[in-house]
Amino acid sequence: MNISPEDFGNLFEEFQQEAFRLETLDDYSKSGGVAAYHAFLAGKPQPEEYKSADWVRTVRDATRAGKRMYRVHILSRPLSDYLRFELGWGYVRNQEAGEEFFILDTTEQPNPLAGVPDFWAFDERTVVTMQYSDAGEFLGAEKIPEAQAQEWLERRNSAMRAATPFPDWWQQHKPA
C-alpha cells in the first residue's frame, strides 16, 4: 500500500522505541541535500543549513527521548562521490545527533541482501519500503502489511550481523 509523504514523515515522530534503515544505493543525490552535495564536491565547507537540517533535529529529539535510530548501508569500495559525501558529512553529522551507523562492505564478500530495497522499520511492526530511480531520486514509499513485518526484521537482523560499526569501518577506509 502506497504511503503519502506526510504519513511517512509522521512515522518519525510517532515511533516509540526504534527506527532502523537499510540503505542499498551508491547515490541518493537526487533526493535532497543537493546544495550540500555540490559544496562537498567543490571542496567548500559544510553549509550552516546542512549542519542544522530538519533531519538533525528529528534525530536529536528522538535520541534524547531515549529512542534508537540506526541504519546499515550496504556498499562496496571504491566509494562513489556521493558515498564519500554521505559518509564523511552526513553520517558524521548525524552521529553527533545520536544516530548509529553500520557498514556492510561487500567489496570482498557477497551481498547477503542482494535485491532487497531500501526500507525503514519502526518499532518492529511498521515497515516502509522505498523506491528510487536509477539516478537516486526518491519516487515513493510503500507500507508493508504488518503481518509481513517479521521477514523484513529478519533482513534487518541479517544486515546487522554482517555489518561493522561505522566509526570502526570509517577509521580503516576513510578516503584520504
Predicted confidence (pLDDT) at residue 149 exceeds the cutoff of 80 = yes
3-state SS class at 122:
strand
Confidence of residue 157 (pLDDT cuts 50, 70, 90): very high
Q: In what order do the strands lie in the sheet with 119-122?
A: 2-3, 138-144, 126-132, 119-122, 18-23, 68-75, 100-105, 164-165
pLDDT tens for 45-73 read 999 888 888 999 999 999 999 999 999 99
Q: Where are the domains of the chain?
A: 2-173
CATH topology for the 2-173 domain: Endonuclease; Chain A (3.30.870)
Q: Return d(Cα 158, Cα 162) in angstroms, integer.
A: 6
pLDDT at residue 66 in the model: 98
| R_g over Cα of the chain | 16
Q: Which of 24-33, 65-74, 139-148 has the lowest mean pLDDT?
A: 24-33
In the predicted model, is pLDDT for residue 136 greater than 90? no
Backbone angles phi, psi at 79, to 5 degrees: -75, 140
- Mean pLDDT, the chain, integer: 95
What percent of the chain is modeled with pLDDT above 90? 89
> Model pTM?
0.95
**pLDDT tens digits, one per residue of 79-111:** 999 999 999 999 999 999 999 999 999 999 999
